[in-house]
């Protein structure tokens, strides 16, 4: 049974085959969904996305600048005219200055804070607003978060604050869009060596530690996140909105690591 047969939607944030967004794309396609891609404007990114689109049999792509309301509105106008109404939207966008993803949070600059919050949290709001306009039959929106929104993760710094704002936004958007039968949720994924994660200081050590401490004694794979997105974007989760689903092999449930970790 194809859980998303006859459904269509847009995925943002695909950079390469290691991106969480790419694994979400693949899982959605496997369940029968028609997927379009929105990407950061720029010739280099466009060339990369076009190659991925050709390889994955994707007919629609469009640029969308997360920091420009005008660009977001133009992108959704193009989606409406060239792709049609949608049933789901995937927000997988985050950015912070590399200097703010190492060292201490107390040294975060005003500029760095504003940039991280704008791209990583605020961008969901105008995108959800525009997506809702082309979801006449209701739908589902998801975004990507991380445990750093709830707990201190060394070097994650300002991005943890941005993800906390993102998760709060999910709850308020779920309330606003619920009457239109549009659900809004987040996936809090465990760490994986993506291009975005590589900017976080000591990410390799973090990934190694997480795999040892998680109850399932392994790190997540892209497929774990992709398949969880199918749940949140399909009718299987028709009564779920305003939630943060942890896909981290249980790491977020741990109050203390096993003492053997320190041997």
Residues labelled as active-site residues? 146, 156
Query: In this structure, is the dihedral angle defined by the CA atoms of residues 116, 80, 139 and 7, taken in order, positive or negative?
Result: negative
């Amino acid at each position: 049974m194809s859980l998303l047969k006859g459904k269509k939607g847009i995925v943002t944030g695909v950079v390469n085959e290691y991106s969480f967004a790419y694994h979400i794309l693949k899982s959605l396609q496997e369940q029968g969904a028609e997927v379009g891609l929105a990407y950061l404007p720029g010739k280099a990114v466009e060339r990369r996305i076009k190659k991925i689109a050709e390889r994955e049999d994707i007919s629609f792509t469009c640029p969308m600048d997360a920091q420009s309301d005008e660009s977001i509105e133009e992108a959704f106008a193009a989606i409406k005219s060239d792709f049609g109404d949608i049933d789901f939207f995937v927000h997988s966008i985050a950015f912070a200055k590399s200097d703010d993803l190492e060292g201490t949070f107390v040294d975060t600059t005003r500029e760095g804070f504003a940039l991280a919050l704008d791209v990583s949290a605020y961008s969901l709001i105008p995108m959800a607003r525009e997506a809702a306009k082309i979801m006449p039959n209701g739908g589902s929106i998801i975004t990507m978060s991380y445990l750093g929104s709830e707990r201190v993760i060394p070097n994650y710094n300002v991005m943890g604050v941005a993800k906390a704002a993102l998760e709060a936004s999910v709850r308020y958007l779920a309330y606003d869009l619920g009457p239109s039968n549009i659900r809004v949720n987040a996936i809090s994924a465990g760490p994986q060596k993506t291009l975005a994660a590589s900017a976080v200081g000591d990410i390799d050590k973090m990934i190694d530690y997480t795999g040892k401490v998680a109850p399932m004694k392994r790190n997540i794979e892209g497929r774990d996140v992709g398949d969880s997105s199918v749940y949140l974007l399909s009718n299987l989760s028709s009564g779920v909105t305003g939630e943060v689903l942890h896909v981290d092999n249980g790491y977020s449930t741990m109050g203390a690591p096993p003492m053997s970790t320190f041997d």
